[in-house]
Structure 1
Amino acid sequence: MKQKFQDKDFYNNGFDLIRYWAAISVMLGHFAWKAQAFSNTPIKAMDTMVSVMHFFPGVVLLFAISGFLVTASLERSKSKKEYMLKRVVRLYPELWVCTIVNLIMLCSVVPNLLDKSIIVWLGTQVFGVANTPGCLANFATGSVNGSLWTIFTEIQLYIVICFLNDFLKKMNNVQWGIALTVSAAVNVGCDYAAKYFGGAIAKMIERAFVPYFIWFLLGCFIYHKRDVLIPILKKMTLPLLAVYTVLRLLNWNLPGYYAGIMVGILAPLIAIGGGGYCLPAIRIKCDLTYGIFLYHWVVLNVIVHYDLINLWDWGWCLLLLVTVTFALAWLSWRFVGRASGKLIKRILNKMN
């Protein structure tokens, strides 16, 4: 009889470690990108950093793991209302506080640039929409908080799965195969469309959940078929990792939006089946990953605005970015994130 995955082992995973890799790799990848763009002299180390950080793209891993864990959260919730409440309270309070911190920074650093468009920007931040007001188009990196598109995309995916999950869990293997194939084709199609049309259409594609849905859907698929797939993926971790590594080192890839479709399929399989359930089940009580996503671009803007990339050695800039980002992420977790968690429990207790 084939071994099946037991739900009692659901939490015996290494997802905390993978989430930290995802958050830190995005932060370091953004630093390397902007250091290359704004440095007056080439920094060879940045090419290496980009290659390492993009080997297992943090955003792909983030969406794939979210698909797995958020589906589990939805299934364990007593109602869709409870599920959405948990998601809203989990995401928005820390986002709103980050917006206030960002606004204070802007008022302190470039008060002369601000105009009425900042009010519209604040309105979009209430809902988590990534947006840069016109008055700040030429400030620092050119984006007020360039990492927020991932948060807004997550929000879209949370809503989509809320409506689709009842249908997804009833699908047979053939239907799942069709759904995943279509999602992969859409990802590739978005890549071609964004390059062909550019401009506003490319921006719309970037901000919509559609091109990233394949990664999230893979997570949903693995969760719904976990009793069979998790044991298989655990056994296949090393072979999949070997194939993935060889293909990446050979720079062989297929087209795909944000990441080639080969990466977009193999990386989630390795991360969820192998990384999640082969890595040590280490629980990191202090979860700074969300704060790292929220705050690192704010710090990066300050570094670029004051031209520290050219005034200091890049290593000191990186140390500043990591130190301040982690400090802000810890403050966010300590005083906002934990309070949000307690608020969710109180609300759910009253609802129940």
Structure 2
Amino acid sequence: MTNEKGNSFGILRYYAAFCVMYLHFTGYMMSLVPDHVRGIGVLRSIVNFYQPTVIMFAISGFLISASLERGGMDAKTFVKKRFSRLYPDLWLSMAVYIAALYLIIRDKFDSSILKWCFTQGIGIAGTPSCLKDFATGSINGPMWYFTVLIQLYILVFLFKLITKNSRSSVLYGITCAVLAVCNIICSMSVSKIGDTGAKLLERFFLPYAVWFFMGVFIQTCKLHEIKNIKTISLITVIIHAVIRISGTYDIGYYTGVITGICTCILTIAAAHLLTCTKIKTDLSYGMYLYHWLFLNLIIHYQLYDKFHWMVCLIIFTLSTIVFAYIFRVKRK
């Protein structure tokens, strides 16, 4: 049996946050610094071996399910907890972004900033029209995850409410299978729905729900507590590695369905099998919020032409961590 209070989710959140940061960094540097594409590609392959956004969805699904189990199905309490966890830091980061960008490119600012403040302030990802030609073309590219996560929080609450907090492994197994099929359908449809449709799909919960509900499934049915979890984890590691290393085609939206499910299983298993380490200060959310600011600044000032890409990586990493630490809402 494992203890849900003694786990390594804190370490895994940091791991996922760093991997997301470096995926975004390498994604731009591979085209901006073509002479070093091999070295940048190696780093990219490492941080993308276990897809980090899938890790984040699986962790969120597991922990939100555990929170509902502890706190009960009270809608007011649920909303209050989610609001206090997500929105104060989001609003603070928005203020920091506006202040920093105003100091650098104030001549670009117009009324579209106000519209952006409202839409992103309620959790809808987007970029002010006045900044679409600045650096990456996005004021905070990863914010689609926030938009999707809000939808999934609402969905899981309604799912547990309608199913009366059922712990049926059959129910959850069927649900995850259906969501996996939906992911595949989304993958097959994205090229046929145009740019606007693709953008809307990117911010819709359906393609990602399978990863989130895998975490919910494992927590609700206590699959992480079964006796042969180590054997299952080893088999899952092998399946995942064979598919990734061999380049076997694995259909799916955002990432392959099979490797995505394997990543979810391994994430939750690792959280309970690894030596428990309590991290007092969790900066992972702040790292996710602020890293895009420094990616934009590196591109805007063309630092990749002035310094080696690894120096830019260090600047990118340290700046993000410092801002995540300074500009955070402290909780008791």
Tell me the TM-score normalised to structure 2 length.
0.95
Tell me if the contact between 2:152 and 2:209 (Cα under 8 Å) persists in the aligned partners: yes
**Corresponding residue to 1:137 among 127, 132, 151:** 132
**Given the superposition, is the C-alpha separation of residues 101 and 226 from structure 1 closer, same or farther in structure 2, using an over 3 Å criterion?**
same
Taking a change above 3 Å as real, the CA distance of residues 11 and 253 of structure 1, as seen in their structure-2 partners, is farther
- Mapped contact 2:167–2:221 kept (Cα < 8 A): no
* Match in the other structure for 1:326: 321
2:4 maps to 1:10 = yes
CA contact (8 A) 2:59 2:215 kept: yes
The aligned runs of 1:1-352 (5 Å cut-off) are: 5=1, 9-39=3-33, 41-78=35-72, 79-168=74-163, 169-170=165-166, 172-226=168-222, 230-273=226-269, 275-333=270-328, 336=329, 338=330, 341-342=331-332
Instruction: Give the superposition deviation at 1:294.
Output: 0.2
Which amino acid letter does the alignment assign opposite residue 252 of structure 2?
A: G
Partner of residue 347, structure 1: none
Q: Mind listing any 5+ residue stretches in structure 1 that lack a counterpart?
A: 343-352
Matched residues, number = 330
* Shift in alpha-carbon separation, 1:227–1:149, aligned structure 2, 3 A: closer
CA distance in 1 between partners of 2:136 and 2:190 (Å): 22
SS in structure 2 at match of 1:103? helix
Shift of 1:302: 0.5
Paired residues of 1:71 and 1:223 also in contact (CA < 8 A): yes
Q: How many angstroms apart in 2 are the aligned matches of 1:233 and 1:195?
A: 39
Is the contact between residue 234 and residue 277 of structure 1 (CA under 8 Å) also seen in structure 2? no
Q: CA deviation at 1:171?
A: 5.8
The one-letter amino acid of 2:286's match is G
Whether the 8 Å CA contact 2:224–2:268 is kept in 1: the answer is no
| Cα distance in 1 between the residues matched to 2:275 and 2:302 | 41
In structure 2, the CA distance between the partners of 1:316 and 1:44, relative to structure 1 (3 Å rule), is same
Residues 61 and 212, structure 2, Cα contact 8 Å, conserved in 1: yes
Task: Report the AA paired with residue 47 of structure 1.
Answer: G
What does the per-residue CA deviation read over 1:62-83, in whole Å, with 9 as the maximum and x for residues that have no partner?
A: 0011101111111211422112
Q: Note the aligned Cα RMSD (angstroms).
A: 1.6
My pick for the range that moved more, 70-79 or 27-36, is 70-79
CA–CA separation in structure 1 for the residues paired with 2:94 and 2:167: 41
One-letter amino acid of the counterpart of residue 71, structure 1? S
Residue identity matched to 2:48: H
Q: Residue by residue, what CA displacement relative to the aligned partner does 1:190-211 show, whole Å, maximum 9, x if unpaired?
A: 1111123231111111001110
Structure 2 unaligned spans of 5+: none
Q: Per-residue CA shift, 1:62-108, capped at 9, x if unaligned?
A: 00111011111112114221121011011111110100110011111
Alignment partners' CA distance in 2, 1:22 and 1:241: 17
Q: Name the CA distance, whole Å, in 2 between partners of 1:89 and 1:299.
A: 26
| DSSP-derived class of the 1:210 partner | coil
Deviation at 1:42, TM superposition (A): 4.5
Distance, in Å, in 2 between the alignment partners of 1:242 and 1:227 is 19
Q: Per-residue CA shift, 1:106-131, capped at 9, x if unaligned?
A: 11111111111111011112112110
Question: Residue 245 of structure 1 aligns to which amino acid in structure 2?
Answer: A
Single out whichever of 92-101 and 12-21 deviates more from structure 2.
12-21
CA gap of 1:231–1:91, structure 2 versus 1, over 3 A, is farther
Q: Does structure 2 conserve the Cα–Cα contact (< 8 Å) formed by 1:74 and 1:80? A: no
After the TM superposition, which of the residue ranges 236-245 and 183-192 deviates more from structure 2?
236-245
2:327 alignment partner, SS class: helix
